[in-house]
């Protein structure tokens, strides 16, 4: 690309200064530079200001309702007695199930794509583009998939297993993408060394590549899980919206989850329920924050730079 096409000042223009000008920049140009920088700073700040406003708003509404009683009581039609025990237990059970399903499949798929797949084959390229695309499919569409195939097609009904499987499909692409990055970061010399010593391909992966990639995989998986437990729309579609004043006991029991309960309370006209929603949001955000902090700690503690 020529300088002219990029709109640079060509010959005949006086050199304009900015950050590290040599000659004198006109006052107007310096003002322009400063104004631009102010606009950029504003762009960065607007996100954080919103975040702070959101946190303050939720804390204002919800902190008063937050108590041990609130966490240990079951949902109720009376705002004064309602709590989040069954939604919280439901969310934790969903999280465990989604982790059990996604991590093996996601890591397996990532290993295949990074260690085995021949990138020149059309089907491997198709799988790759497919995963990128799946990561951007709206979550409500996964809900439709869950409704049509799991709830109605396989006749699982509106149960915990259907919810966990729907969320698994939703976050699988994220786990695959994160795991691939972690696996790719393991240098080729490690693989070559193992193979040169007579290891088979799987021995090389099992004993060298996987152990080295585990911190990255774990970090990515935890972040994906935190996405899963915040999802509401797919669970609405598979019908987790019903009033469930008991904890799920097995894969085929009815269930509810924190985001569902928050949505439910938010849409009630009574002001008291909105405050309960805010209190439940605090619990959900605290859970997410813990998971994210753990993921970051894991990354900083165990990640190796080669």
Q: How far is the CB of 194 from other proteins (least distance, A)?
A: 14
Contact segment (CB under 8 A) with other proteins among 80-88, 128-136, 181-189, 211-219 equals: 128-136
Site string for other proteins, 145-164 (x = CB under 8 A): x-xxx--xx-----------
Residue 108 has which token pair? 């397996």
Residue 180 vs 248, nearer CB to other proteins:
180
First to last CA, the chain: 36
Integer Cα distance of 246 and 303 in angstroms: 41
Q: Phi and psi (nearest 5°) for 234?
A: -65, -35
Does 16 bind other proteins (CB under 8 A)? Our answer is yes
Q: Which of residues 233-252 bind other proteins (CB under 8 A)?
A: 233, 236-237, 239, 241
Residue 140 vs 190, nearer CB to other proteins:
140
Considering only residues 160, 278, 279, 283, which one is a binding residue for other proteins as defined by CB under 8 A? 278
Q: Phi and psi (nearest 5°) for 27?
A: -60, -35
- Closest by CA to 150, choosing from 127, 171, 168, 131, is 168
Max Cα–Cα distance, the chain, nearest Å: 79
Site string for other proteins, 186-225 (x = CB under 8 A): --------------xxx--------------------x--
3-state secondary structure 132-147: HHHCCCCHHHHHHHHH
Q: How far is the CB of 208 from other proteins (least distance, A)?
A: 15
DSSP 3-state of 58: helix
Residue 31 has which token pair? 């003002």
Q: How far is the CB of 34 from other proteins (least distance, A)?
A: 9
Q: How far is the CB of 50 from other proteins (least distance, A)?
A: 5
Q: State the number of binding residues for other proteins (CB under 8 A).
A: 105
Residue 32 vs 298, nearer CB to other proteins:
32
Residue 219 has which token pair? 């970090």
Are 161 and 199 in contact by the 8 Å Cβ rule? The answer is no
Are 187 and 224 in contact by the 8 Å Cβ rule? The answer is no
Considering only residues 98, 186, 281, 283, which one is a binding residue for other proteins as defined by CB under 8 A? 281
Integer Cα distance of 14 and 223 in angstroms: 51
Considering only residues 67, 80, 130, 290, which one is a binding residue for other proteins as defined by CB under 8 A? 130
Q: How far is the CB of 153 from other proteins (least distance, A)?
A: 8
Q: How far is the CB of 289 from other proteins (least distance, A)?
A: 9
Q: Which of residues 91-110 bind other proteins (CB under 8 A)?
A: 104-109
Considering only residues 84, 159, 182, 277, which one is a binding residue for other proteins as defined by CB under 8 A? 277
Q: Which of residues 41-80 bind other proteins (CB under 8 A)?
A: 41-44, 46-48, 50-51, 53-54, 57-58, 61
DSSP label at residue 63: G
Considering only residues 75, 83, 90, 173, which one is a binding residue for other proteins as defined by CB under 8 A? 173
Q: How far is CA 161 from the centre of its chain?
A: 21
Angle between helix 271-302 and 258-266 (nearest 10): 150
């Amino acid at each position: 690309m020529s300088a002219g096409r990029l709109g640079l000042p060509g010959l005949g223009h006086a050199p304009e200064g900015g950050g590290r000008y040599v000659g004198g920049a006109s006052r107007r140009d310096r003002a322009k530079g400063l104004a631009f920088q102010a606009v950029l700073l504003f762009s960065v700040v607007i996100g954080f200001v919103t975040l702070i406003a959101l946190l303050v708003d939720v804390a204002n509404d919800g902190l008063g309702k937050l108590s041990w009683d609130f966490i240990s009581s079951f949902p109720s039609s009376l705002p004064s007695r309602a709590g989040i025990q069954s939604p919280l237990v439901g969310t934790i059970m969903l999280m465990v199930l989604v982790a059990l399903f996604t991590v093996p499949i996601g890591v397996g798929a990532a290993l295949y794509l990074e260690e085995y797949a021949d990138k020149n084959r059309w089907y491997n390229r198709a799988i790759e583009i497919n995963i990128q695309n799946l990561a951007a499919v709206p979550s409500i569409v996964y809900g439709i998939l869950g409704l049509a195939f799991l709830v109605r097609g396989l006749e699982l009904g509106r149960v915990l297993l259907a919810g966990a499987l729907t969320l698994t499909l939703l976050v699988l692409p994220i786990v695959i993408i994160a795991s691939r990055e972690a696996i790719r970061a393991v240098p080729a010399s490690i693989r070559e060394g193992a193979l040169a010593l007579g290891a088979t391909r799987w021995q090389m992966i099992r004993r060298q590549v996987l152990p080295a990639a585990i911190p990255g995989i774990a970090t990515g998986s935890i972040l994906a899980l935190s996405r899963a437990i915040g999802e509401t729309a797919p669970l609405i579609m598979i019908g987790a919206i019903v009033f469930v004043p008991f904890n799920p006991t097995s894969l085929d029991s009815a269930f509810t989850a924190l985001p569902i309960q928050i949505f439910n309370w938010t849409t009630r006209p009574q002001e008291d329920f909105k405050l309960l929603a805010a209190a439940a949001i605090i619990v959900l955000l605290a859970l997410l924050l813990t998971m994210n902090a753990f993921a970051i700690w894991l990354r900083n503690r165990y990640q190796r730079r080669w």
